[in-house]
Structure 1
């Protein structure tokens, strides 16, 4: 039974040496109907937790799924030992993937949740939905600026999910927030300052911010290099293509980043213009990684 397997949600997957994706995602016995039923019931928190993830994973764009996820976004019963809301986290992530902007008010409310990871998931979901109504609430989370962006005592995170907030503001083209975002370029956490660089490049187009991401590819921490790769792909930073290809990181991630750059560049060309020299250059870099 799913309930027996999912004793403690994602932590149980780790104990098994698996991710949720590894363990159940391709199980043909797990259907949309079963996922919806599990999400709507309240007796088995583990089944609800998994079904919320599964619905997002497979983009189950169904009105029943969206309504059930919105209910899950306000769930009070599924609590982690530290007081967090695991089901809410998965519900927020799934709602971002389903593309229905009617859920924006619920996600804005989730930005006020005491659970850091719910706020992070909500910010990421709002970025995916691309609705400018989120800008004001996201900006509010930057209150206090860099000085307030400190580590929470006894926790592995800052007071707010700044990386997700900054990335969302950049994607949402929140030009009015650039003055609040720019100081985060000097934050002591690399991923936060590079998220600020990504956002500032999106908001201004100034190459100096893209070059900050190129410098991030030289960081000693592999996780930071990986994050910078994804950032450069997400913003289509063409001037960083060669640096991406030469980064000490997995070729698979470099290919994803270069693909993002290529798609962004091609999308800016006229339909009948053919492949530009820059497009061909990026494609050659990709070929060299295969």
Structure 2
């Protein structure tokens, strides 16, 4: 079992859930070559949303990573963003090298989407490229600025490096525990726990569940589910947030427990999590 909470919304560009019948694969691939930028944008989203893991889909999306036609007034690349997100969901590692190339894109959101998808694809070959962006915010092993820094998608970079087990670079991740943006701090705690398994980082996330902002509590629920930090189970169940999100987080804890036991047995921790989930239903 594999739990990887996604912060990328599986919603259509119009904000409505697609029913999966609005396009065929052939139509989506054709639309990616259309002169209509809206059709191209939607097609890239659709291929990722419905996990169209065909060679032709992967090839077309990789090509879309170099699109120059779909530009925002600020210089962003909307089609590239959707293509990068979709490629992570399709799970084909031939996208790894093109996504690494996207980390040099001038569009912040393309870089963010590329980092998230590289995390999903799980190939450690991308670690040096992710570190290259991360150290933009560092001078040695210290943060350059105590002011909010939006120059790089630090949250996505940290989460990817934690998932990819970039243990040799742990000293470069630790300073981000003091980043002025709370979401970056939480991503750093999540990654540090994955790299060191030291409870202090899991406990930092547990403490954040008592924060005032619902948006931040939601993010921490996802982080705790991703790292499977079992001591957080009670705190997760009691968090002031939607039961659906608490269940997803607890599911992450449960899957980490199941992955470390034989199929015919359940640990006390797993049974506890199951009972907590049952109480939320």
Establish whether TM, by shorter chain, passes 0.5.
yes
Q: Secondary structure at the match of 1:278?
A: helix
TM-score normalised by length of structure 2? 0.91
Deviation of 1:21 (Å): 7.2
Aligned partners of 1:213 and 1:177: how far apart in 2?
Answer: 21
| Off by >6 Å, runs of 4+ in structure 1 | none
Aligned pair 1:147/2:140, yes or no? no
Residues 22-69 of structure 1, C-alpha deviations (whole Å, 9 max, x = no match) = 536115242111111111x14111101000000000000011111110
Deviation of 1:103 (Å): 1.0
Where does residue 20 of structure 1 map in the other structure? 13
Aligned partners of 1:55 and 1:19: how far apart in 2?
Answer: 11
TM-score normalised by length of structure 1? 0.88
- Return 5+ residue gaps in structure 2 as ranges: 1-10
- My pick for the range that moved more, 138-147 or 175-184, is 138-147
Where does residue 198 of structure 1 map in the other structure? 190
User: Given that residues 226 and 253 in structure 1 are in contact (C-alpha distance below 8 angstroms), is that contact kept between their aligned partners in structure 2?
Assistant: yes
Where does residue 4 of structure 2 map in the other structure? none
Q: Identify the match of residue 31 of structure 1 among 24, 36, 44.
A: 24
Aligned pair 1:123/2:98, yes or no? no
Q: Secondary structure at the match of 2:240?
A: coil
Task: State how many pairs are aligned.
Answer: 266
Where does residue 170 of structure 2 map in the other structure? 178
Where does residue 3 of structure 2 map in the other structure? none
User: Given that residues 147 and 180 in structure 2 are in contact (C-alpha distance below 8 angstroms), is that contact kept between their aligned partners in structure 1?
Assistant: no
Where does residue 239 of structure 1 map in the other structure? 231
Deviation of 1:270 (Å): 2.0
After superposition, the CA RMSD in angstroms is 1.5
- My pick for the range that moved more, 167-176 or 29-38, is 29-38
Deviation of 1:151 (Å): 4.4
Aligned pair 1:289/2:280, yes or no? yes
Where does residue 68 of structure 2 map in the other structure? 76
Q: Secondary structure at the match of 1:20?
A: coil
Aligned partners of 2:61 and 2:145: how far apart in 1?
Answer: 32
Deviation of 1:277 (Å): 1.1
Aligned partners of 1:252 and 1:29: how far apart in 2?
Answer: 28
Q: Secondary structure at the match of 2:86?
A: helix
Q: Identify the match of residue 206 of structure 2 among 194, 210, 214.
A: 214
Q: Secondary structure at the match of 1:23?
A: coil
Aligned partners of 1:121 and 1:182: how far apart in 2?
Answer: 23
User: Given that residues 235 and 261 in structure 1 are in contact (C-alpha distance below 8 angstroms), is that contact kept between their aligned partners in structure 2?
Assistant: yes
